[in-house]
């Protein structure tokens, strides 16, 4: 049975035509799916009974619930969904904001040395229905104000599905969100060997959501030690593409920089980072590393992080320290799914 969840208005119109329904029935189905958030076709009560029966023969709504949840003392909640070996979404409350950190793949093939998800390998892309299930099935679904594609996987490695989800989140017939409520995080996938195109350029051209780039080291050879995909996707190429676009308006670009003790946290790195970003309207988010099992990497001491932040700000690069959240609940993506698998 094919899921209706993830269908856009054009596809729903095609389905309605096949059932002999008027085109406006597509808007009714979209309303049931994305606004009223039903779980079954039978709940779409303004469709004729025969139409519901015909729809049910080939389609299901397609929502999938979570199988495990763990809460932090700071209110952060991590949810486990039964896709592949396990996929996680994290809800982060902050005053009047409730942000969902969404996964886009079953694992990840980028291989970053500091990432727990990468250790488990890649087990396929998530479908639009599986990504949307994360938005719709967490306990705080009705309260969500923002979304960040920063969970398991590289969003631009699954751009077709991620773009479809963003379209549904921002469409008036979908969730009706402003694109400014959504941020996509990437290592900078500037080329696709299969299509010859650039997923990063497609993202920049096809939607107006915010962009966050995982940078972590300004020296390419050192960055490659942390992030092997620096070789096929050099950070300089990513920055060159980004500089073609305007970030002086509402759309923002930020750079994520996890601080590792003795690896990327000295004055040399701060000065090189400031040179690299000079002239670009952006923000640097410093992130304290959350330890992961059996890794030699350690978080930089807070005084070192403070000095690094001050040096960047003094150089004219707006720099903030992201609050550390949920460290008591296996904060690194991939750890909850690993625990469930062991059980």
Q: Which residues are marked as active site?
A: 88, 333
Reduced to 3 states, what is the DSSP secondary structure of residue 90? strand
What's CA 205's distance to the chain center, in Å? 18
Reduced to 3 states, what is the DSSP secondary structure of residue 194? coil
Cα(103)–Cα(148) distance, integer angstroms: 9
* Bridge partners (DSSP) listed for residue 255: 213, 284
H-helix or E-strand containing 287? strand 283-288
Cα(6)–Cα(63) distance, integer angstroms: 10
Residue length of the chain: 343
Helix axes 159-170, 199-206, angle to 10 degrees: 10
Reduced to 3 states, what is the DSSP secondary structure of residue 130? helix
CA-CA distances (angstroms) from residue 97 to 28, 91, 144, 150, 195? Answer: 30, 10, 7, 17, 38
**97-101 and 146-149: which strand pairing?**
parallel
Cβ–Cβ under 8 Å, residues 147 and 191? no
Q: Tokens in use for 321?
A: 């320290």
Torsion angle in degrees (nearest 10) through CA of 145, 250, 204, 288: -60
Reduced to 3 states, what is the DSSP secondary structure of residue 166? helix
What number of CA atoms fall less than 13 Å from residue 128's CA on the CB side? 20
Cα(77)–Cα(274) distance, integer angstroms: 35
Spell out the alpha helix ranges (H) of 62-150: 116-119, 128-137
Q: Tokens in use for 142?
A: 């009705």
């Amino acid at each position: 049975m094919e899921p209706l969840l993830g269908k856009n208005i054009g596809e729903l119109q095609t389905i309605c035509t096949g059932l002999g329904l008027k085109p406006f029935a597509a808007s009714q189905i979209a309303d049931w799916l994305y606004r009223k958030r039903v779980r079954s076709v039978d709940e779409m009560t303004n469709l004729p009974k025969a139409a519901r029966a015909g729809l049910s023969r080939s389609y299901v709504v397609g929502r999938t619930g979570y199988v495990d949840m763990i809460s932090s003392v700071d209110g952060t909640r991590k949810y486990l969904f039964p896709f592949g070996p396990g996929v996680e979404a994290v809800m982060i409350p902050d005053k009047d904001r409730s942000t969902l950190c969404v996964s886009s793949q079953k694992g990840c093939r980028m291989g970053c040395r500091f990432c727990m998800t990468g250790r488990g390998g890649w087990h396929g892309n998530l479908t639009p229905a599986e990504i949307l299930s994360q938005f719709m099935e967490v306990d705080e679904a009705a309260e969500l104000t923002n979304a960040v594609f920063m969970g398991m996987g590289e969003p631009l490695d699954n751009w077709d599905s991620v773009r479809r989800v963003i379209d549904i989140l921002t469409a008036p017939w979908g969730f009706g969100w402003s694109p400014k409520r959504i941020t996509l995080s990437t290592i900078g996938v500037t080329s696709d060997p299969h299509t010859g195109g650039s997923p990063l350029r497609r993202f920049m051209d096809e939607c107006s959501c915010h962009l966050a780039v995982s940078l972590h080291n300004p020296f390419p050879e050192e960055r490659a030690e942390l992030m092997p995909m620096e070789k096929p996707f050099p950070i300089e190429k990513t920055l060159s593409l980004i500089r073609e676009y305007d970030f002086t308006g509402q759309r923002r670009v930020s750079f994520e920089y996890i601080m590792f003790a003795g690896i990327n946290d000295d004055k040399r790195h701060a000065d090189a980072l400031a040179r690299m970003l000079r002239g670009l309207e952006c923000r640097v988010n410093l992130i304290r590393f959350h330890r992961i099992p059996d890794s030699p990497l350690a978080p930089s001491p807070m005084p070192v992080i403070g000095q690094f932040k001050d040096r960047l700000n003094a150089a004219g690069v707006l720099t903030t320290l992201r609050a550390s959240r949920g460290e008591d609940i296996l904060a690194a993506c991939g750890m909850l799914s690993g625990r469930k698998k062991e059980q």
